[in-house]
Structure 1
Amino acid sequence: MAGLSTDTPTPVELTVHGRSRVLEVAFSDGARFRIPFELMRIYSPSAEVQGHGPGQEVLQTGKREVELADLKPVGNYAVQPTFSDGHDTGIFSWDYLYFLGSQEAQLWADYERRLTEAGVERDAPMAAKGGHACGHH
Structure 2
Amino acid sequence: MSAIPEQLKLLDDGRLWIEWSDGVQLVYPVRDLRDSSPDALTREKARLAAEKPSTELTILAPEELAPLRITGMQPIGRYAYQIQFSDGHDSGIYTYEYLYSLGKPLPPSD
Q: Tell me the residue number matched to 2:99.
A: 97
Which of these residues, 10, 19, 27, is aligned with residue 16 of structure 1?
10
Q: Report the alpha carbon displacement of residue 28 of structure 1 after superposing the two structures with TM.
A: 1.0
TM-score (norm 1): 0.59
For 1:130, the equivalent position in structure 2 comes to: none
Where do residues 111-122 of structure 1 align in structure 2 (5 Å cutoff)? none
Alpha-carbon deviation of 1:69? 1.1
Report which of the two has the higher share of strand: 2
RCO higher in structure (CA 8 A, sep ≥6): 2
The Cα RMSD (Å) is 2.6
Does the CA-based 8 Å contact 1:80-1:88 persist in structure 2?
Answer: yes
- How far did residue 80 of structure 1 move? 0.5
8 Å contact from structure 1 (residues 35, 100) kept in 2:
yes
Aligned residues: 92
Residue identity matched to 1:13: Q
CA contact (8 A) 2:7 2:18 kept: yes
Closer, same or farther: CA 10–57 of 1 in aligned 2, 3 Å: farther
Name the counterpart of 1:56. 47
CA contact (8 A) 1:67 1:84 kept: yes
Question: Identity of paired residues, percent?
Answer: 32
TM-score, normalising length from structure 2? 0.72
Q: Specify every segment of 5 or more residues in structure 1 that has no aligned partner in the other structure, as ranges.
A: 1-6, 104-137
After superposition, the Cα gap between the structure-2 partners of 1:41 and 1:63, relative to the gap in structure 1 and judged at 3 Å, is: farther
Matches of 2:79 and 2:6, distance apart in 1:
12
Q: Work out the CA distance in 1 between the residues paired with 2:37 and 2:30.
A: 10
